[in-house]
Chain A
Amino acid sequence: MAKDAVHAGYLPLLDSAVLVVAARFGFAERHGVDLQIHRERSWAAIRDRMSVGHFDCAQMPAPMPIAMSLSHGPLTARTFAPLVLNTGGNAVTVGNELAAALADESPVDASPAAIGAALRFATARLAERNGRPLRFAVVHRFSGHNYDLRYWLAASGIRPDADIEITVVPPSLLPEALASGQIDGFSAGEPWNTIAVRAEVGEIVATKVEIAPRTPEKVLGVSEPFLIERQDVLKRLIAALIEAGRWCDTAGNHGELARLMADPRHVGVDSSHLLPGLSGNLETASSGGRAVADFLTFAKPGMSRPDPSFAAWLHRQMVRWDHSHRTPETDAIVRGVFRPDIFAAATGDDPGDRAAEAAFDTDRHSRLFDGGLSELSQD
């Protein structure tokens, strides 16, 4: 039987693992899907190729399909997210100068609240000493890296865009930008935090999973024609990706996974740089590290279902930072981007997922590191 070809775009990042594993290790094939993966060099290129129909789907930061559906960008098309590809995986790394200033403030522990409080004083002192506001980089405007960082800074009393300038730098250039003093810190996925620490140009000071626990990081962005005209193929692809995700979550497979992703065709870095992100045993500074539970997970039960209430929260973050606007029309569009209905149809509506989802909902007010009340109660 001929397999159904699906073209998927991805960037060279550790959390593209699920797509790569599904394509290279036979998961897609077992579901009758001929998954062709295409590596790109920017989110802009992924967006463009999705918009003109070169790709049926792609790895995307969770805010990206929302931004595309709202026509934020020079070339866009309606895009849907029927599956979460991973949660966590990102960290905030600061340069040595800021790390030293932060240590001077003696944060009480490594929690985002304690580090954030110390960071507020450290950035103020450093900005005054250097005579310029600090500058952090994220990898894309419409990304979890950006909105998690902004949320954390603002909750810590640091005003993004005023106290800290936030710019965009491609991931692979981040360690170098930190080394040259072009930026004072960055929020990015692995392996770029680990690589910066190992190059002794910075320290990891916070992680996404601690700032915004259990929230989606990358999703499977799907084009409208794929979702509507080939839904059967899409459902089989989702099933294959969840199986691949569970394989990626299995600690015993991490060595093999790191070797696969290290290949020049995929991430193209030494496989040893990929292991801390997979195990959660982070090397946070050249002098030590700490274990972060669930630092990066791909398909833990209850985590793969895209929750429209989270999409709404993301859009409120976009509005908060003046990256979008809110009207009844935008609310209606945003509500339709995350597609738990397709997910349920593909997975047979696993009751375990339902239970986890219910817990997620009642627990909304504690899902962010600071309680998140001010943001979520606006609903």
Chain B
Amino acid sequence: MSAEISILIFDENKVRAAIIEAGLREAGHEKVAVVGEILGLVKRIETLQPDVIVVDLENPNRDQLEHFFQVSRSVKKPVAMFVDRSDSEAISAAVEAGVSAYIVDGLKKERVKPILDMAVSRFNAFHRLSRELDEARSELAGRKLIDRAKGILMRKRGLSEPEAYRLLQRCAMNENRRIADVAQSLISASSLLGDL
């Protein structure tokens, strides 16, 4: 079993699948395929005969996939989610990250472990990035609101920009709210009064 390991990534999230695929290719794996939906998956598995199948843990089609492994006579049957069942820490880390993997019998654990470690770290990196992106989006939206609110104060009360900002800031502190929320209220009120 020294031939190149064939890996299939089954993930409905295309971006995440691409990130894992890139990681595996960087690590020198050449036989890497990605499938996004259950339709056509069986044919791909029969053609590719993968040694390792990486699936996101939350994929709703996993019961169907495991059934296929059980009944199929045309594919190598994956027997375990992890080669080394005693490595409970690594298993827990994978499940925590949302990674499940099916591995055919006979693969040495030193060959499989780097693949799983890679998938786990890339899953974690993906989720961290998604979270940061969400935060960045909401921060950007907040900044835009503050700019508009400052504009209103500058026009209506003849304040300079720093003064307008300090007023919003003081108001937020007094009411124990976020500046962006105060800005939003000001914009809404102003719009109701027909000032915009």
What residues make up the interface of A, taking CB atoms closer than 8 Å to B?
40-45, 48-49, 52-54, 73-75, 139-141, 167-170, 172-173
**Closest partner residue, chain A, to B60 (CB atom):** A41
Contact A52 B92 (CB under 8 A): yes
> In the assembled complex, which residues on chain A have CB atoms less than 8 Å from the CB atom of B151?
none
Q: Which B76-92 residues have a C-beta within 8 angstroms of A? A: 78-82, 85, 88, 91-92
Residue of A53, A74, A172 touching B66 (CB-CB under 8 A): A74
Contact A73 B61 (CB under 8 A): no
> In the assembled complex, which residues on chain B have CB atoms less than 8 Å from the CB atom of A54?
95-96
Instruction: Kindly state whether residue B167 has any CB partner on chain A within 8 Å.
Output: no
> In the assembled complex, which residues on chain A have CB atoms less than 8 Å from the CB atom of B80?
74-75
Instruction: Kindly state whether residue B58 has any CB partner on chain A within 8 Å.
Output: yes
Closest Cβ of chain B to A167, distance in Å, is 7
Closest Cβ of chain A to B118, distance in Å, is 19
Can you name 10 A-B residue pairings with CB atoms under 8 Å? A40-B58, A42-B59, A42-B60, A42-B62, A44-B100, A45-B100, A52-B88, A73-B66, A167-B64, A173-B60
Alpha-carbon distance between A48 and B64 when the two chains are bound, in angstroms: 15
Asked, given contacts A74-B79, A74-B81, whether A41 binds B67 with beta carbons under 8 Å apart, the answer is no
**Closest partner residue, chain A, to B79 (CB atom):** A74
Contact A75 B82 (CB under 8 A): yes
Contact B66 A44 (CB under 8 A): yes
Contact B64 A169 (CB under 8 A): yes
Contact A42 B91 (CB under 8 A): no
Instruction: Kindly state whether residue B102 has any CB partner on chain A within 8 Å.
Output: yes
**Closest partner residue, chain B, to A140 (CB atom):** B63
Contact B100 A48 (CB under 8 A): yes
> In the assembled complex, which residues on chain A have CB atoms less than 8 Å from the CB atom of B63?
42-44, 139-141, 168, 170
Closest Cβ of chain B to A140, distance in Å, is 5
Task: Tell which of A49, A75, A140 has the most Cβ of chain B within 10 Å.
Answer: A75
Map CB proximity to A onto B95-114 as digits: 1 under 8 Å, 0 otherwise: 11000101000000000000
Instruction: Kindly state whether residue B33 has any CB partner on chain A within 8 Å.
Output: no
Alpha-carbon distance between A73 and B70 when the two chains are bound, in angstroms: 10
Known contacts A48-B100, A54-B96, A141-B66; 4 further A-B pairs (Cβ under 8 A): A42-B61, A43-B63, A44-B66, A52-B91
> In the assembled complex, which residues on chain B have CB atoms less than 8 Å from the CB atom of A173?
60
Instruction: Kindly state whether residue B57 has any CB partner on chain A within 8 Å.
Output: yes
Closest Cβ of chain B to A342, distance in Å, is 25
Contact B59 A41 (CB under 8 A): yes
Closest Cβ of chain B to A329, distance in Å, is 18
Residue of A48, A139, A140 touching B95 (CB-CB under 8 A): A48
Alpha-carbon distance between A44 and B81 when the two chains are bound, in angstroms: 11
**Closest partner residue, chain A, to B102 (CB atom):** A74
**Closest partner residue, chain B, to A43 (CB atom):** B63
Closest Cβ of chain B to A323, distance in Å, is 8
Contact A53 B92 (CB under 8 A): yes
Contact A170 B60 (CB under 8 A): yes
Contact B67 A168 (CB under 8 A): yes
Alpha-carbon distance between A104 and B153 when the two chains are bound, in angstroms: 79
Contact B66 A167 (CB under 8 A): no
Q: Which B44-68 residues have a C-beta within 8 angstroms of A? A: 57-64, 66-68
Q: Which B143-181 residues have a C-beta within 8 angstroms of A? A: none
Alpha-carbon distance between A40 and B78 when the two chains are bound, in angstroms: 23
Alpha-carbon distance between A139 and B61 when the two chains are bound, in angstroms: 10
Closest Cβ of chain A to B143, distance in Å, is 32
Asked, given contacts A45-B57, A74-B78, A75-B82, whether A170 binds B64 with beta carbons under 8 Å apart, the answer is yes
**Closest partner residue, chain B, to A146 (CB atom):** B67
Residue of A45, A73, A168 touching B64 (CB-CB under 8 A): A168
> In the assembled complex, which residues on chain A have CB atoms less than 8 Å from the CB atom of B82?
75
> In the assembled complex, which residues on chain A have CB atoms less than 8 Å from the CB atom of B57?
45, 48
Residue of B58, B66, B92 touching A41 (CB-CB under 8 A): B58
Alpha-carbon distance between A334 and B64 when the two chains are bound, in angstroms: 25
**Closest partner residue, chain A, to B82 (CB atom):** A75
Closest Cβ of chain A to B59, distance in Å, is 7
Task: Tell which of A43, A44, A139, A173 has the most Cβ of chain B within 10 Å.
Answer: A44
Task: Tell which of B62, B80, B96, B100 has the most Cβ of chain A within 10 Å.
Answer: B62
**Closest partner residue, chain B, to A172 (CB atom):** B60
Task: Tell which of B61, B63, B68, B100 has the most Cβ of chain A within 10 Å.
Answer: B63
Alpha-carbon distance between A43 and B81 when the two chains are bound, in angstroms: 15
Contact B95 A170 (CB under 8 A): no
> In the assembled complex, which residues on chain A have CB atoms less than 8 Å from the CB atom of B67?
140-141, 167-168
Contact A44 B58 (CB under 8 A): no
Interface pairs A-B: 3 shortest CB-CB: A168-B67, A44-B62, A74-B81
Alpha-carbon distance between A116 and B22 when the two chains are bound, in angstroms: 53
Alpha-carbon distance between A56 and B182 when the two chains are bound, in angstroms: 44
**Closest partner residue, chain A, to B94 (CB atom):** A52
Contact A75 B64 (CB under 8 A): no
> In the assembled complex, which residues on chain A have CB atoms less than 8 Å from the CB atom of B85?
75
> In the assembled complex, which residues on chain A have CB atoms less than 8 Å from the CB atom of B70?
141
Closest Cβ of chain A to B107, distance in Å, is 14
> In the assembled complex, which residues on chain B have CB atoms less than 8 Å from the CB atom of A141?
63, 66-67, 70
**Closest partner residue, chain B, to A170 (CB atom):** B60
